[in-house]
């Protein structure tokens, strides 16, 4: 399948960054794109620029989300909405845990649960889950975020089992450092501070690169499924091994 085989798309977390770039790319490809995000002003600007259909909605409001999705026929679903918070489990609050699990995992499961049966009935569809290298590799901090993105990784693999025999593809796009608003929104720093700390002097992918990669996966023939795409800067490598000496000598 390619864009010509699909009519509609749904992108969550669409008001900025990768979500907005995906909406813009899909609209250019001729799809009717439903864009979900909390920030209505950003959505209205995006709709004016791209022609997408905006839905101002909190993804963690499952009742409202389900009512919206039941009224839509979606061919391409992009689960992009997500948040992160710095810190380890010992420093995390109960609210930190609940907020990330509700947005990064719970809302995704309910979105797929509601949209997927229609795809299966029509025997066409493509689900793209935006995860993170944090769901595949260990590095310091952001423990809750790591755990929730690992859940999205396993969901992506399991969905392939659930739809076996149907012409439905599932792709996990797993970015490393990418220039978006995630650091200033989730790390307690300003936009200027985030740019200086995480982007100045670095060569990193942009949100439009992620949209191009999603388009590549969609445009392949229906019998080709790209299951996992890991995207990092050339000068970024995940992993590493830390060993500490014991205090007792």
Q: What burial class does residue 245 get, using C-beta atoms within 10 Å of its C-beta: 0-12 exposed, 13-18 middle, 19+ buried? A: exposed
224: left (phi over 0), alpha (psi -120 to 50) or beta: beta
Token reading at 63: 């009742």
- Out of 6, 137, 145, 202, which one is annotated catalytic? 145
Q: What are phi and psi of 79, to 5 degrees?
A: -90, 95
DSSP, collapsed to helix, strand or coil, labels residue 86 as coil
Positions of E strands within the chain? 8-12, 32-37, 53-56, 76-79, 125-130, 168-175, 228-231
Q: Is 145 a catalytic residue?
A: yes
Q: How far apart are CA 19 and CA 27, in angstroms?
A: 12
Contact 35, 55 (CB under 8 A): yes
Q: What separation, in Å, do the N-terminal and C-terminal C-alpha atoms of the chain show?
A: 63
Q: Active-site residue numbers?
A: 145
């Amino acid at each position: 399948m390619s864009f010509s085989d699909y009519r509609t798309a749904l992108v969550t977390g669409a008001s900025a960054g990768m979500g907005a770039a995906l909406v813009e790319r899909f609209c250019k490809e001729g799809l009717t794109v439903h864009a979900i995000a909390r920030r209505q002003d950003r959505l209205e600007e995006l709709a004016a620029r791209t022609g997408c259909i905006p839905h101002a909605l909190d993804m963690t409001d499952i009742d409202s989300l389900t009512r919206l999705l039941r009224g839509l026929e979606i061919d391409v679903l992009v689960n992009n909405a997500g948040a992160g918070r710095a810190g380890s489990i010992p420093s995390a609050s109960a609210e930190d845990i609940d907020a990330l699990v509700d947005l990064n995992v719970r809302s995704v499961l309910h979105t797929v649960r509601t949209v997927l049966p229609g795809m299966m009935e029509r025997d066409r569809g493509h689900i793209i889950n935006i995860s993170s290298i944090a769901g595949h590799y260990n590095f310091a901090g952001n423990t809750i975020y790591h755990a929730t993105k690992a859940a999205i990784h396993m969901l992506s693999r399991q969905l392939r089992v659930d739809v076996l025999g149907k012409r439905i593809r599932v792709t996990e796009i797993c970015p490393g450092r990418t220039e978006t608003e995630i650091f200033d929104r989730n790390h307690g720093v300003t936009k200027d501070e985030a740019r200086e700390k995480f982007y100045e002097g670095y060569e990193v992918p942009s949100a439009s690169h992620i949209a191009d990669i999603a388009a590549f996966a969609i445009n392949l023939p229906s019998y080709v499924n790209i299951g996992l795409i890991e995207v990092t800067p050339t000068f970024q490598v995940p992993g590493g091994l830390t060993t500490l000496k014991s205090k007792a000598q």
